[in-house]
Amino acid sequence: METSLIDPFQRAVTYLRVSVTDRCDFRCVYCMSENMTFLPKKELLTLEELDRMCTAFISQGVRKLRITGGEPLVRRGIMSFFGSISRHIDSGALDELTLTTNGSQLARFADDLAAAGVRRVNISLDTLDDEKFARVTRWGRLAQVLKGVDAAQNAGLRVKINAVALRGFNEEELFSMTEWAASRDMDMTWIEVMPMGDMGDTDRIGQYWPLTDVRAQLAQRYTLVDLAERTGGPARYVRLEETGQKVGFITPLSHNFCESCNRVRLTCTGELFMCLGQEDRADLRAALRDHPDDDRPLIEAIHQAIAHKPKGHDFDYSRQNVAGQMSRHMSHTGG
């Protein structure tokens, strides 16, 4: 099915990221403040409403659905949502149903996710050091996440590790994390820290470790082969000849990736963000709730929103200040 969601720059929108909750059991220092004020539960879409919203997007040509948060697996009853939405995998309307998670709940849910048609999960993991992990997540425990990695692989899920590159924090672990992931047949993606949300005294410039440096250091030890492959996201990939694994680089700051953007982001309150790095949004909740038995107003609202998708974001650290900073936290739109 050809997509009918075409933005003003002739990019087909085929990828929807859905934040099912803004809540999380961690408080990662680049994502949330320690004392977060979360949305009142009455403002959240119900799981049935999220299903209806996703189904409307799928009817308009979205082929990939990624469930995010906060931490999506802390939402009560979330597996009923996965079980229901899997019908679109079974029918062939949806190519892929995936999940981004901190891994803390995977030991409980990995088998159920596999049964619902999930084949790949991205696990956010920035360090393999217990003390540093507790520090960067504030509330997390590394052993719990590593059990989640085991459970996911035992359930037959393909695991990719997402690591945020943080200067002065995980630079010295670049090679050890690469070798650990390779030993478990897991690919990795490194992500530049993005200027989203008020972090109090957190130093955004001090955190920023450009991935040009990460790639250059990897090239000192491994043979890097550029890959043309794209997975529908913003990462650019290389293969490490010595290990065979893929390593991705998501570079919103050192290399803008907007020219091929095919994705939009839906929040748990029904707001659609057409760009991660812009404040423009569309309220789809009203169209959903005002017409409970008619999806046409919702689909019209989706098309109107896509017609306002911008060309790109404005993130910039190059002048030693944080330009293009978003007021909302990353957990609000799900990354």
From the list 137, 277, 116, the residue with the least C-alpha distance to 194 is: 277
188: left (phi over 0), alpha (psi -120 to 50) or beta: beta
pLDDT tier, 199 (very low <50, low <70, confident <90, very high otherwise):
very low
pLDDT number for residue 333: 54
81, 116 Cβ separation under 8 angstroms:
no
The C-alpha atoms of residue 103 and residue 109 are separated, in whole angstroms, by 10
Render pLDDT for 145-157 as a digit per residue (tens, 0 to 9): 999 999 999 999 9
**Rounded mean pLDDT of 114-138?**
97
- Residue 49 CA, chain-centre distance (Å), reads 21
What average pLDDT does the structure give for the chain? 88
The DSSP code for 208 is B
Cα–Cα distance, 59 to 16 (Å, whole number): 12
Tens of pLDDT, residue by residue over 239-278, are: 999 999 999 999 865 555 577 788 999 999 999 999 876 7
CA 68, CA 45: separation in Å to the nearest integer?
Answer: 14
Structure tokens, 262: 């095919």
| 142 three-state secondary structure | helix
Average pLDDT over residues 89-111: 98
If you average pLDDT over residues 25-40, what whole number do you get? 88
Q: Worst-scoring range by mean pLDDT, 39-43, 61-65, 125-129, 239-243?
A: 39-43
Quick one: which of 145, 107, 190 has its CA closest to 26? Answer: 145
Q: Of 223, 87, 106, nearest to 157 (Cα)? A: 106
Q: Is the pLDDT of residue 68 over 70?
A: yes
The rounded Cα 250 to chain-centroid distance in angstroms is 11
Q: Is the pLDDT of residue 230 over 90?
A: no
Of 225, 251, 259, 219, nearest to 318 by C-alpha is 251
- 327 three-state secondary structure: coil
Least confidently predicted of 113-127, 160-174, 227-241, 272-286: 227-241
Beta bridge partners of 159: 121
Amino acid 75 reads R
Give the per-residue pLDDT at 275: 87
pLDDT score recorded for residue 110: 98
Determine the Cα–Cα distance for residues 64 and 228; give it in Å rounded to an integer: 19
Average pLDDT over residues 14-29: 94
At residue 203, the pLDDT reads 52
pLDDT of residue 261: 84
CATH superfamily of the domain spanning 15-333: Aldolase class I (3.20.20.70)
Rg of the chain on CA atoms, in Å: 19
The pLDDT assigned to 315 comes to 47
The domain ranges of the chain are: 15-333
Side-chain-side CA neighbours of 248 within 13 Å: the count stands at 23
Q: How confident is the model at residue 29 (pLDDT cuts 50, 70, 90)?
A: confident
The overall pTM is greater than 0.85: yes
Residue 236's beta-bridge partner residues?
249
